[in-house]
């Protein structure tokens, strides 16, 4: 805590309130939204003539023939995607942590993370489709196909392609969170001690490091589980169609011109929330069971082995997961320039810029809308985050570990469960359907990510620089603006890039808060999914990816240029 | 000047009921008071208290009086107490000259006057022409000299030294030590040195206060 700051200016008076304001901006809409979902679910929506408490909507929901299958799909895809992502991340860390391959993987993380979910899903779809690259690469010499086979690989009824699409995007996220957790515990020492006791590297890591890492990444894992169960955009692209997943069905009911369907949609959203809570509890039970087994395994003293096999398997899986995104984007690039492409040729017979030319004019207003929303949302989130962190510094308003939960509230409460209610509230207060509403909703999701990426570097800054600066006559604001923020330029820009990418990728919040009238690259790209024109989809998905990647390039190059003669900040 | 020098008036600092520091003393202008004690004995805590950056969790009482003015309740930037740490803590985003400019008091107004004073200061410490250098490219001894000069340019009324010589090799250590003490004596500053190195205390030549 830095002592005795001036508190007379308006800005200084605002600062102590920053954490509360941030909380209201971030968690307030979630709470309001959940309430706005629950009320109509039980029949209460006076504007539509519902003023009693009934269970009619739930009766309708459970009469819907698809309910069992949709619910099962939600739970199974969520649990499977989360378990597979976590397992892969743990295996990678156990087998490769500290190696050169691991550093390569680390460096690929940011770009992989910033690829929007929708773009990654489209890329994967174009890879695995019956007429996709994988089928082309293996036809006809291996498969014997000279026409795209009539197979339901995409949007398969079991949600396998949906799970795959989720895993390739959640692995980089969980890996990043795991790396942050690893840097906070003395992982290396523990593992080396175990190695000296004769344990094989992978076993040593799982027995000594993983339990401590897991307690630190539990919240991100929960966020992944909730997200995977309820995701809408990826499910629209890769998920099954008859029936769809529950969240997609809720969106359909929400968009029904018959406003009465909102009762049903709200009931389904509440049911979706119940499913998520149930799955989280189930996961927790699984944690406890695995921990008990793990303790026995530790007590057994088994030294383990098979290091090479596990190394090979985990690296292959990681490469597969990363290449699904990389080749997916490459595929989008090829498709956006395709003139004519016959099966099973590996590359198109003719390239053309026609698709790009035809859509450039339409793209511009959408690109600028996307940029405005992302910039304002990121700036607002950045200001609130910096104000919170500085207030923590000046007034010792340090959040406890319980407050960390609050950051994850918007990430764990399913979007569909509270955005549904938020839209219902917005319609009857007349504030929906404009850019401001979309920005406000984006801030809810941008804030946690900006805060999570900036908090550690901000807190890790050596406070003695501040003490020296103050002894030299600088006030609290002087320390902040002239010393701390310039020194933290790189992490600040990185956090802004993360926030920007998060905003670019938002589908459901944009759609519901914008009432379909605010068009961003993401909403447009996903809307094109049902049309199936791969060329146009590719143009939109690529533009979306480029916009999300751009700030990461800035975050890399701006500090490198500004601090080119400052060796001390090269790795800051 | 009324009552010149720095007076520590019954300064007692406790943490969790344990007394870390208990000192009452007066340091005359140009005098060096050495505070010695093993690590963890609260030497640095005392300095934090004097410059006003003591963290919460400590229970501190007593007054710090500098040249007759009670500075105990002033903001750190209003105290005019200079400090040198074990690390030089040159601001890595500023050039050597900008680091000095950060220290140079704002009463030197025009740009040319400021630049001139900084160039002179650099020559005084044998680093003429270093103004545009990246501080990270300096040797340990050079950094120590810049840090000292940065502090002196802020026109401090007292000097606190937190083991500032322990990072330097033996040869440099004597050189920098002499430079610091000479400057303090020339400017008539009271100096408080905390260290666990007897050579530092001997070189300072003043009284020694021991913390247990």
| A305/chain B closest Cα distance in angstroms | 45
Sign of dihedral through CA atoms A164, A165, A167, A168?
positive
Helices and strands counted in chain A (H then E): 26, 4
* Rounded (10°) angle between helices A100-114 and A307-336: 30
Q: Which of A468, A470, A485, A486 to mutate to test the interface with B (most CBs of B within 10 A)?
A: A468
- Paired with B81 in beta bridges are B158
Looking up tokens 């410059």 gives B51
- The CA distance from A210 to B123, in Å, is 56
Per the CB < 8 A criterion, the answer to whether A412 and A222 are in contact is: yes
Q: Across the strands, what pairs with A45?
A: A50
The answer for B68, left when phi > 0, alpha when psi is -120 to 50, beta otherwise, is left
Cα B102 vs. chain centroid, distance in angstroms?
Answer: 16
The pairing of beta strand B158-162 with beta strand B59-66: unpaired
**Tens digits of pLDDT across chain A (572 residues):** 445 676 566 666 788 888 899 999 999 999 999 999 999 999 888 877 778 888 989 999 999 999 999 999 999 999 999 999 999 999 999 998 888 888 888 888 888 888 999 999 999 999 998 888 888 888 888 888 888 887 777 788 889 999 999 999 999 999 999 998 888 888 888 888 888 898 988 999 999 999 999 999 999 999 999 999 999 999 999 999 878 899 999 999 988 888 889 899 999 999 999 999 999 999 999 999 999 999 999 988 888 878 888 899 999 999 999 999 999 999 999 999 998 888 888 888 888 999 999 998 889 999 999 999 999 999 999 999 999 999 988 887 677 667 788 999 999 999 999 998 888 887 777 776 789 999 999 999 999 999 999 998 999 999 999 999 999 999 999 999 999 999 999 999 999 999 999 999 999 999 999 888 899 999 999 999 888 889 999 999 999 999 999 999 999 899 999 998 898 887 65
Alpha-carbon torsion angle A306, A310, A312, A314, nearest 10: 180
Q: Which of A303, A321, A352 is the last residue of a domain?
A: A352
Domain total of chain A: 2
Q: Are residues A285 and A346 in the same domain?
A: yes
Does residue A371 lie in a domain region?
yes
Number of C-beta neighbours around residue A110 at 10 A: 18
User: Searching chain B, which residue's CA lies closest to the CA of residue A473?
Assistant: B77
In DSSP notation, A434-477 reads SHHHHHHHHHHHHHHHHHHHHHHHHHHS-HHHHHHHHHTT--HH
Is the CB of B108 inside 8 Å of chain A's CB atoms? no
Q: What is the pLDDT of residue A99?
A: 83
For chain A, say whether B57 makes contact (Cβ under 8 Å): no
Residue A67 within any structural domain of the chain: no
Let me know whether A335 and A395 are in one domain: no
Calculate the CA dihedral of residues B4, B6, B12, B13 and round it to 10 degrees: 150
Q: Contact at 8 Å (CB) between A253 and A261? A: yes
pLDDT along chain B (212 residues), means of 10: 85 90 92 86 88 88 93 92 92 95 90 93 92 94 93 93 84 86 91 89 86 75
At residue A159, φ and ψ (nearest 5 deg) are 75, 20
* Inside any domain, residue A244: yes
Coil, strand or helix at B20: strand
In this predicted structure, what is the pLDDT of residue A525? Answer: 94
| Phi, psi dihedral angles at B160 (to 5 degrees) | -115, 135
Residues A149 and A209 in one domain: yes
Where is the domain boundary, A304, A336, A352?
Answer: A352
CB contact under 8 A, A472 and B150: yes
Residue A144: cis peptide before it, omega within 30 degrees of 0: no
When CB atoms are compared, the residue of A471, A563, A572 closest to B51 is A471
User: Of the candidates B52, B95, B150, which has its C-beta nearest A4's C-beta?
Assistant: B52
Whether residue B186 lies within 8 A of chain A, CB to CB, comes out as no
Within-domain flag for A66: no
Residue B154: closest C-alpha in chain A: A472
CB contact under 8 A, A471 and B55: no
Furthest C-alpha separation in chain A: 79
Q: CB under 8 Å to A16, separation ≥6 — which residues?
A: A391, A395, A397
Q: What is the pLDDT of residue A1?
A: 43
Same domain for A100 and A31:
no
* Structural domains of chain B, ranges and CATH numbers in brackets: 6-90+140-210 (3.40.50.300)
Q: What is the DSSP string of B23-80?
A: EEEEE-TT-EEEEE--TTSSHHHHHHHHHT-PPTT-EEEEEEEETTEE-TTS-GGGS-
Using the beta-carbon criterion (under 8 Å), do B136 and A472 form an inter-chain contact? no
> Contact B154/A473, CB-based, under 8 Å?
yes
Place of tokens 């120590």: B144
In-domain check, residue A171: yes
A1/B151 touch (CB, cutoff 8 Å), yes or no: no
- A369 shares a domain with A333: no
Residues A140, A259 within the same domain: yes
B158 and chain A: CB distance < 8 Å anywhere?
A: no
List of chain B residues whose C-beta atoms are within 8 Å of the C-beta of residue A572: 92
* Cα–Cα distance measured from residue A201 to residue A312, given in angstroms and rounded to the nearest whole number: 14
CA distance A14 to chain B (A): 20
Same domain? A132 vs A244: yes
CB contact under 8 A, A567 and B134: yes
Residue A478: is it exposed, middle or buried by C-beta count within 10 angstroms (0-12/13-18/19+)?
middle
Q: By the CB < 8 Å criterion, does B103 face chain A?
A: yes
Q: Which of B82, B106, B135 sits opposite A568 (nearest CB)?
A: B135
Residues of chain A found within 8 Å of residue B81, distances taken between Cβ atoms: 471
Pairing of strands B59-66, B208-210: unpaired
Nearest-by-Cβ selection for A568 from B51, B54, B136: B136
| Residue at A424 is within a domain | yes
CB contact under 8 A, B81 and A471: yes
Query: Which of B64, B73, B77 best probes binding to A when mutated, by most A CB atoms within 10 angstroms?
Result: B77
Specify the pLDDT at position A8: 60
Q: For residue A549, which of A331, A384, A325 has the smallest C-alpha distance? A: A325
**Domain edge (last residue) among A300, A326, A352:** A352
Token duo for residue A164: 């795959």
User: Are A365 and A476 part of one and the same domain?
Assistant: yes
A256 is written with which tokens? 């029904």
Q: Find the domain containing A39 and state its range.
A: 1-43+360-572
Q: Over the stretch B128-173, which tens digit does the pLDDT of each residue have?
A: 999 999 999 999 889 999 999 999 999 999 999 998 888 788 888 8
In this complex, how many residue pairs, one in chain A and one in chain B, have their CB atoms less than 8 Å apart? 93
- Tell me how close the Cα of A138 comes to any Cα of chain B, in angstroms: 55
Q: What is the pLDDT of residue A571?
A: 65
CA angle A460, A465, A471 (to 5 degrees): 145
Our CA-based measurement puts residue A468 at a distance from the nearest CA of chain B, in whole angstroms, of: 7
For residue A481, give the DSSP letter. I
Are A397 and A542 in the same domain?
yes
Whole-prediction pTM value?
Answer: 0.90
Q: A192 and A140, same structural domain?
A: yes
CATH of the domain at A500: 1.10.3720.10
A340 and A367 both lie in a single domain: no
Closest residue of B to A489, CA-based? Answer: B93
DSSP state of A241: -
pLDDT at residue number A191: 84
Looking only at the bridges linking them, the beta strands covering A50-51 and A338-340 are unpaired
Residue A53 covered by a domain: no
Output the pLDDT for position B42.
82
- pLDDT of res. A364: 93
Give the sign of the dihedral formed by CA B11, CA B14, CA B17, CA B19: negative
> Are A130 and A150 a contacting pair, CB within 8 Å?
yes
Q: Please indicate, yes or no, whether residues A27 and A89 belong to a single structural domain of this protein.
A: no
Give the burial string for B157-187 (b: 16+ CB within 10 Å, else e).
bbbbbbbbbebbeeebbeebbebbbebbeee
- Asked if B137 reaches chain A (Cβ–Cβ under 8 Å), the answer is yes
**Which residue on chain B is closest to A2 by alpha carbon?**
B53
- Chain B: give the shortest CA distance to residue A480, in Å: 13
Q: Please list the helix, strand and coil fractions of chain A in percent, rounded to the nearest 5, in that order.
A: 75, 0, 25
**Hunting for tokens 């008076």 — which residue is that?**
A13
């Amino acid at each position: 805590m830095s002592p005795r700051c001036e508190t007379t200016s308006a800005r200084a008076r605002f600062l102590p309130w920053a954490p509360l304001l941030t909380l209201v901006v971030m968690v307030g809409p979630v709470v309001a939204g959940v309430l706005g979902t629950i009320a109509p679910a039980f029949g209460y929506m006076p504007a539509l003539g519902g003023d009693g408490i009934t269970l009619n909507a739930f009766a309708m929901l459970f009469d819907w023939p698809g309910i069992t299958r949709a619910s099962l799909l939600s739970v199974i895809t969520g649990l499977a995607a989360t378990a597979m992502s976590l397992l892969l991340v743990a295996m990678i860390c156990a087998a490769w942590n500290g190696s050169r391959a691991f550093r390569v993987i680390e460096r690929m993380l940011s770009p992989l993370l910033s690829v929007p979910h929708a773009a990654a899903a489209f890329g994967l779809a174009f890879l695995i489709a019956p007429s996709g690259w994988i089928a082309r690469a293996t036809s006809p010499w291996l498969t014997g196909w000279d026409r795209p086979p009539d197979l339901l690989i995409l949007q398969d009824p079991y949600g396998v392609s949906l799970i795959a699409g989720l895993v390739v995007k959640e692995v980089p996220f969980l890996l990043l969170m795991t790396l942050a957790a690893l840097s906070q515990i003395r992982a290396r020492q523990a593992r080396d001690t175990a190695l000296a006791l004769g344990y094989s590297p992978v076993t040593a890591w799982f027995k000594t490091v993983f339990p401590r890492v897991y307690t630190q990444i539990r919240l991100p894992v929960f966020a992944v589980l909730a997200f995977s169960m309820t995701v809408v955009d990826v499910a629209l692209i890769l998920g099954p169609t008859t029936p769809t997943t529950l969240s997609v069905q809720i969106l359909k009911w929400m968009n029904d011109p018959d406003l009465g369907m909102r009762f049903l949609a709200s009931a389904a959203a509440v049911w979706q929330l119940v499913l998520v809570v149930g799955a989280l509890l189930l996961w927790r039970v699984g944690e406890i069971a695995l921990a008990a087994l793990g303790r026995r395994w530790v007590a057994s003293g088994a030294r383990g082995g098979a290091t090479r096999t596990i190394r090979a398997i985990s690296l292959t899986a990681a490469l597969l997961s990363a290449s699904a995104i990389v080749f997916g984007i490459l595929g989008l690039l090829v498709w956006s320039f395709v003139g004519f492409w016959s099966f099973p040729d590996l590359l198109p017979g003719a390239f053309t810029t026609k698709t790009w030319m035809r859509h450039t004019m339409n793209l511009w207003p959408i690109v600028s809308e996307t940029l405005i929303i992302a910039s304002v949302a990121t700036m607002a989130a950045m200001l609130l985050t910096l104000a919170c962190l500085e207030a923590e510094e000046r007034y010792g308003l340090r959040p406890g570990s319980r407050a960390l939960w609050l950051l994850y509230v918007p990430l764990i409460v399913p979007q569909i469960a509270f955005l549904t209610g938020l839209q219902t509230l917005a319609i009857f207060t007349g504030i929906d359907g404009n850019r401001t509403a979309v920005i406000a909703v984006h801030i809810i999701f941008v804030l946690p990510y900006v805060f999570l990426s900036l908090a550690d570097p901000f807190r890790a800054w050596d406070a003695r620089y501040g003490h020296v600066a103050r002894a030299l006559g600088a006030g609290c604001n002087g320390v902040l603006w002239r010393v701390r923020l310039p020194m933290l330029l790189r992490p600040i820009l990185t956090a802004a890039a993360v926030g920007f990418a998060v905003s670019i990728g938002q589908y459901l919040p944009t759609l519901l808060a914008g009432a379909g009238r605010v068009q961003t690259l993401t909403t447009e790209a996903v809307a094109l999914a049902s049309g199936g024109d791969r060329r146009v989809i590719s143009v939109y998905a690529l533009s979306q990816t480029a916009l999300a990647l751009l700030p990461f390039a800035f975050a890399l190059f701006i500090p490198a240029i500004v601090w080119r003669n400052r060796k001390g900040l090269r790795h800051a | 000047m009324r009552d010149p020098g720095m007076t520590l008036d019954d300064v007692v600092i406790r943490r969790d009921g344990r007394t870390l520091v208990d000192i009452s003393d007066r340091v005359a202008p140009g005098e060096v008071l050495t505070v010695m004690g093993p690590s963890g004995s609260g030497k640095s805590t005392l300095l934090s208290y004097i410059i006003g950056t003591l963290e919460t969790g400590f229970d501190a009482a007593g007054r710090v009086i500098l040249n007759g003015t009670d500075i105990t309740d002033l903001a750190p930037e209003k105290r005019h107490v200079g400090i040198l740490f074990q690390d030089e803590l040159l601001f890595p985003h500023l050039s050597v000259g900008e680091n000095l400019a950060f220290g140079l008091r704002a009463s030197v107004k025009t740009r040319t006057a400021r630049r001139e004073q900084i160039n002179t200061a650099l020559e005084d410490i044998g680093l003429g022409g270093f103004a545009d250098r990246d501080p990270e490219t300096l040797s340990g001894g050079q950094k120590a000299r810049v840090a000292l000069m940065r502090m002196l340019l802020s026109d401090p009324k007292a000097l606190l030294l937190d083991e500032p010589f322990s990072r330097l090799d033996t040869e440099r250590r004597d050189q920098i030590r002499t430079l610091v003490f000479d400057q303090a004596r020339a400017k008539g500053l009271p100096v408080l040195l905390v260290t666990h190195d007897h050579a530092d205390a001997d070189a300072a030549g003043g009284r020694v206060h021991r913390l247990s």
